[in-house]
Amino acid sequence: MEENFQFALNTLKMRNKLVFIFGIGAWLFIAACKDNTEGSKLTDFVKDAGNRLTQKAEVSGNKVVSQFVPDKPEEGKGSDVYRFIITVQSSPEKTTDSILYFFNYKSAGYFRMVTGTDTLHPVLSERMANGREDLHQFTVLFDRSGITGTSDSLEIIFLGNKLFADSLFFRYALTDIKNATKTLYGYE
């Protein structure tokens, strides 16, 4: 009988040690996963309304968000592209097969960037897969070397399409764009 009692007591002590060790391990795992990466810093910076890098619009019941996302330039050299994330939240009843086809395969023709006297087509317009039919997110890149004139702003134009007839304009001040790169990376 005493052997059974001693065995039960040892088992209980071992279980308590394991619970303690797993508890410490879980705490360390959670602390290690805290998002202090450069990516989270960039995301927070872009979403901060004071930096004027995120703009929102609503047209025909669809919410559209445009975000300028600074690329990390090579030291001593500016970034080669302007990168934007365009998100369209469509109402589920308006999302048809033809709209999904348009957003999946034909979207590159519907984005433009205007600065000064230059109108640029994107060098890349790619829909990011997210598994949702009502949320369409695009990465749109414009080549900076295609800009010949000077201007103090640039506009992203999302041309009218199958989801909404009117074109959307998102205007960004070049000083805000330069400040973003300088603040995040220390140089333009």
- Cα torsion 72, 75, 76, 80 to 10°: value is -30
Residue 41 structure tokens = 């810093």
DSSP 176: H
Average pLDDT score over residue span 101-111? 73
Whether 186 shows a pLDDT value over 80: the answer reads no
pLDDT > 60? residue 125: yes
Question: What pLDDT, on a 0 to 100 scale, did the predictor assign at position 149?
Answer: 72
Mean pLDDT, rounded, of the chain:
74
Hey, how many other C-beta atoms are within 10 angstroms of the C-beta on 33? Answer: 8
Query: Which DSSP string do the residues of 134-161 spell out, in sequence order?
Result: SEEEEEEEEEGGG--S--SEEEEEE---
Domains of the chain: 50-185 (2.60.40)
Q: How far is CA 124 from the centre of its chain?
A: 15
